[in-house]
Amino acid sequence: MHRIKHPNGGYSLIELAILCLVLVIVCIFVFVNRTLFFGAPAPTQNEEEFAVALVRLGIQSYAVESRSTGRVPEYPIRLDNADSGVEASETTPLFTEVVPEGLRSGWRKVGANEYVYGDVVEDQEGNTYHYDPLSGAFTRGRSRESEPVYST
């Protein structure tokens, strides 16, 4: 086969297409190997932020529905009916009052209105969230009621 000489010495369209195809195949190969041999990646900060935003949106949707239908109280009293100590799973999803189908992984209920995201020791505040049914706030950190009270 004779190669056509280009006046500028560049590559033909077919050569560039083959190069792009090889690069795509290499990328797919790397992705498949990482997924199959190393499993799914660990939960990230973005996943936690997304889950928290989803819960907060569910609480606000509940409040909007309450206002439009005249339901009292405006915010749900609790976010689910799970007992303390329960981890979110397929059989025991959490946040079922505000998220359709609930959240099925990443969360553990540690109190009536307190939840921990990820694998965090229970006495750390980092990934602990508290729900206040009076204001509808779902905030990071423990509730003040759970802190010990010291008398002087």
Give the SS3 label for residue 127.
coil
Q: Are 56 and 135 in contact (CB under 8 A)?
A: no
| Residue 27 domain boundaries | 12-41
Binning pLDDT at 50, 70 and 90, where does residue 13 land?
A: confident
Q: Are residues 123 and 82 in the same domain?
A: yes
Binning pLDDT at 50, 70 and 90, where does residue 145 land?
A: low
Q: Are residues 65 and 127 in the same domain?
A: yes
Report the pLDDT value the prediction gives residue 149, as an integer from 0 to 100.
Answer: 36
Report the pLDDT value the prediction gives residue 44, as an integer from 0 to 100.
Answer: 66
Report the pLDDT value the prediction gives residue 80, as an integer from 0 to 100.
Answer: 96
Q: Are residues 65 and 23 in the same domain?
A: no
* Number of structural domains the chain divides into: 2
Q: Are residues 25 and 91 in the same domain?
A: no
Residue 5 maps to a domain: no
- Of the candidates 117, 126, 8, 144, which has an alpha carbon nearest to the alpha carbon of residue 55? 117
pLDDT digits (tens, 9 = 90+) for 20-46: 777 777 667 676 666 665 555 555 678
Q: Are residues 125 and 99 in the same domain?
A: yes
Report the pLDDT value the prediction gives residue 11, as an integer from 0 to 100.
Answer: 75
Task: Respond yes or no on whether the N-terminal peptide bond of residue 7 is cis (omega within 30° of 0).
Answer: no
Q: Are residues 117 and 49 in the same domain?
A: yes
pLDDT at 114 over 80: yes
Report the pLDDT value the prediction gives residue 39, as an integer from 0 to 100.
Answer: 55
| Top-confidence range, 6-20, 84-98, 111-125, 130-144 | 84-98
pLDDT digits (tens, 9 = 90+) for 61-95: 999 999 999 989 999 999 999 999 999 999 999 99
